[in-house]
Structure 1
Amino acid sequence: MANPEVPSDLVRAKKEKVMESKFKKEKKQHVIQEKQRQQQKIERSLKDKPPITPKRPV
């Protein structure tokens, strides 16, 4: 430990908090990327399919 006056559990708690916020940011980023991937998949499948002709209203 750099500072012997600071209890190690306090330092550990601070490190954990930093790691937690990093993890949350990464998770958020991952969720955003997943949504974009899903969107691209939908767009691709829409391009592949022929346009749906509207059925006559019943």
Structure 2
Amino acid sequence: MYLLIDRESGTLVVHSGPDKGRYRQQHSYDYGDPAVLPDPVSITPDTEELKNHAR
């Protein structure tokens, strides 16, 4: 799993399902939305606080 926080667009992008050197799944979340982090992490962090740090 790879998590990208894009401060310019105010989004988080979760890349998962690695296969043959690529991530097969990609889910984008806006700041303030819960971002589902899949196995092996298996948590859903609250991203509301990221809004306070957005440019």
> Please, what TM-score do these two structures have when normalized by structure 1?
0.18
Greater share of residues in strand: 2
> Please, what TM-score do these two structures have when normalized by structure 2?
0.18
Which of structures 1 and 2 has the larger relative contact order (alpha carbons within 8 angstroms, sep 6+)?
A: 2
Greater share of residues in helix: 1
The structure that has the greater radius of gyration is 1
